[in-house]
Amino acid sequence: MKKAFLILFVFTFCNQITFAQKETTIVTLKNDDKAPTINKNIYGHFAEHLGRCIYGGFFVGDTSKIPNTKGVRNDIIAALKELKIPNLRWPGGCFADTYHWKDGIGPQEQRPTIVNKWWGGTTEDNSFGTHDFLNMCELLETEPYLSGNVGSGTVQELADWVQYTNFSGKSPMSDLRKKNGRAEPWKVKFWGIGNEAWGCGGNMTAEYYAGEYRKFATFMSDWENTGGITRIASGSNSGDYNWTEVLMKNIPLNMLGGIGVHHYAVINWNKKGDGVDFTEEQYFKTMQSALKMEELVTKHGAIMDKYDPEKKVAMLVDEWGGWYEVEKGTNPGFLYQQNTMRDAVLAGATLNIFNNHADRVRMANLAQCVNVLQAVILTDKAKMITTPTYHVMKIYAVHQDAKLLPVSFQSPLYTVNGETLPAVSASASKDKNGAIHISLVNVDAKNKNKIEIDVKDLGVKNFTGTIITSAKLQDYNSFDTPNKIVPTAFKGFENKKGKLEITIPPFSVVVLEGK
C-alpha cells in the first residue's frame, strides 16, 4: 500500500512539474500617469584604479600605437558612446579614499607616484588624473561622478576639488585649473562623499560616518551652476539596513542628494567559483544572490520612505554585478574575469529590478567598465571586445528616461536542488515618441517559458524583438570569437488580436518594441 501511494505521489508530482512548465505566464502592463520616469542614470558605469581598468584599459598614453585621443583609446570611447552611458564613477571604489586629487594634475612628468594599496600593490604614476578623466567624460558625452576622499583626505581637500572643477570666477583653485590648461569649469554635478565608509573607507560606524558626512557636505558648495551639486552618502553594505536608518535619521535631507547601496552577486565570498567553468548549481546560487536586489531595494526604500516620504533623496546602487574568482593565470588583485551568458541574465534581471523601482532608484553603476569584474569591455593589448553584459545594456538603453509601465505577473519557478527562484523577470516603459519597450528575462537554465501580454490598450500594433542567447550558459565572447554572443532578431512571438504570445528560450534576454 505504501509503495502504491509512493508511485501515485511521484506520478502526480511529475505531472504537476510538467504542467507548470507548460503554463503561460500572464504579464499585465499598466498605463499609469503617476508612474515615474526611469532615470537614465540607472544605466551608469564605474571606472576604478583597479587592475587594467584605467591603465591598459581606458588609458594607454598619447605615445601608444593604439589609436587614442590624449591617451584614451578611441575604440573604447566609440563603444561606450554606442552604449549611451549616462554617467561614469571615478576614481573608486576603495581607491578613492587613498587618492589625493592634486597629485594627478599639472605636467605629467612632475606628478608623484602612488602605491595602489588596495589592488595588487602596484605603483601608479598619476598620469591619469582629474583633467584626463573629465575630458574623457566630455568625449563620452557622459556625466562624471567623482568619489571624494573622506578616509585619508580632509574637508579642505574635497572642497578645493569642487572649486577646481566647477568655479568659473577668480579663486585659488580656478586659477590653478587655468594654469593647468583648462579655462572653463567642467561643472561636475555628482559627488560621492567617501566610499564604503563601513569598510575600506575607514571602518567607521554609521553614527560616526553620519557626522563626517555632515562636516564634509557643509563645505562643499556650488553657487554658480544650476541645481548646484548632488552630494551622495556612502551607503550600506548589501543588507545593512541599520546603516541606511542611521544616515536618514541623522543627516538633514537638504544636505543629502542621494544615498548608496552596494551589492554583488557572489556564491560565497571565500569560494566565489570560476567565471566560466561553473555548474548549474553555481549559476543558480549566483542568480539567487543577484535577485536579492529586489529585497534590498524594497527594504532600504521603506526606511528612506519613513524619513523622506516625498522621495526627494535618490537611492544609488553605485556598485553592483557578478563577482567570481579571477581568470586563471591573472593577478588576483586585478579582478579580471570573463563574462558569460550567466552575466547577461544577471544584468537583464537586475536592470528590470531597478526599472521597476524607478521612483526611488535613480542611479546605478555596474562594476566595472573595462577589464574588471562584470565588465562591458575587455582588452588585450590592441584588441578589444564587448561582452554579453555590454549587449544587454545596449538593448536596454531604450528605457533611459522613458516612462515606466508598471508590470504585474505571477512568475513560474526555477528549481534546483529543492530551492526555487522566479524564472521570469520583466519591466516595461513608454518613450517620448510613444514606443513601448518590454524587457523579458528567462532565468531558468533548462526550460523555455511561455508569456502572454495584453497590449490592446497600449496604442501600438507592430512589434519587433531582439534576443541575447547562446547554446550554453558558459558561452562567452573571446578575442578569437568576439561575436559569439551578440543581439539578434527575435521571432518567438505572435500578436494575436492584441495579445502577445511569447516563447522565451532558457537563459535568454529579450527586448520587444511596439510602435
Residues designated as active site: 196, 319
Closest CA relative to residue 329, chosen from 276, 365, 395: 276
> Nearest to residue 231, comparing CAs of 191, 203, 181?
191
C-alpha cell at 408: 504585474
475: left (phi over 0), alpha (psi -120 to 50) or beta: beta
- Report how far residue 99's alpha carbon sits from residue 106's, in angstroms, rounded to the nearest whole number: 16
Q: Which residue bears the cell 588624473?
A: 129
Return the C-alpha cell found at 242: 541599520
CB neighbour list of residue 110: distance below 8 Å, 6 or more residues apart? none
Helices and strands in the chain, H and E counts = 11, 27
The dihedral built from the CA positions of residue 336, 338, 342 and 343, taken in this order, carries a sign that is: positive
**CA distances (Å), 237 to each of 205, 260, 306, 351, in order?**
12, 9, 20, 19
Nearest C-alpha neighbor of 257 from the set 363, 165, 168, 357: 363
CB-based contacts of 352, cutoff 8 Å, min separation 6: 425, 426, 427, 439, 441
Report residue 29 as a C-alpha cell.
502592463
Supply the DSSP symbol for 112: P
